[in-house]
Amino acid sequence: ATSPYDDQNIFAKILRGEIPCRRVYEDDFALAFHDINPQAPHHLLVIPKGAYVSWDDFSAKASDAEIAGFVRAVGIVARDAGFVAPGYRLLANTGLDAHQEVPHLHVHVFAGRPLGPMLA
Ligand code: 5GP
């Protein structure tokens, strides 16, 4: 079971423009911005505009249009940033064991160095 959405989470505040972010992309479905504590030379976050706690919540409850729009946006962000040729990594921490800290779905986009083997 997923917790109810907390509209005071930090990414909800970013979506409402209540706190700033370094925005790189926005459309009807998604907002992308730089992570405040980058773990790679390029570290972006892509979030859906809808109120979804996690990947689990989003994949279960979002409309087909929202899902398609969000997945397209993640691709656009990586492509526009020039990450495709060198390569990039997507990550969506979901829940406690994965150490998800912000309870609004976010996909991490890492690039800019050899990222090494996948962490399990
Ligand atoms: P999680 O552990 O939930 O997958 O990742 C949360 C991410 O959000 C972390 O990488 C963290 O650095 C980033 N983050 C937390 N607060 C802020 C913020 O206020 N602004 C931005 N741009 N990133 C944030």
Question: Residue 49 maps to which CATH number?
Answer: 3.30.428.10
Residue 69 CB partners (closer than 8 Å, separation 6+): 27, 28, 29, 30
| Nearest protein Cα to ligand 1, atom 19 | 10
pTM reported for the whole predicted model: 0.97
Q: What is the pLDDT of residue 4?
A: 94
**pLDDT above 70 coverage of the chain, percent:** 98
Tokens of 42: 């390029």
Asked whether 93 lines ligand 1 (CB < 6 A), one says: yes
Task: Specify burial of residue 107 (Cβ count, 10 A radius: 0-12, 13-18, 19+).
Answer: buried
Q: What is the pLDDT of residue 120?
A: 67
The answer to whether position 95 is within a domain reads yes
Give the distance (Å) from ligand 1 centre to CA of residue 99. 11
Q: Residue 1 pLDDT > 70, yes or no? A: no
Give the distance (Å) from ligand 1 centre to CA of residue 113. 20
The answer to whether position 58 is within a domain reads yes
User: What is the domain count for the chain?
Assistant: 1
ipTM score of complex: 0.99
Q: Residue 41: which domain range?
A: 10-111
Give the chain's length: 120
Asked whether 10 lines ligand 1 (CB < 6 A), one says: yes
Asked whether 97 lines ligand 1 (CB < 6 A), one says: no
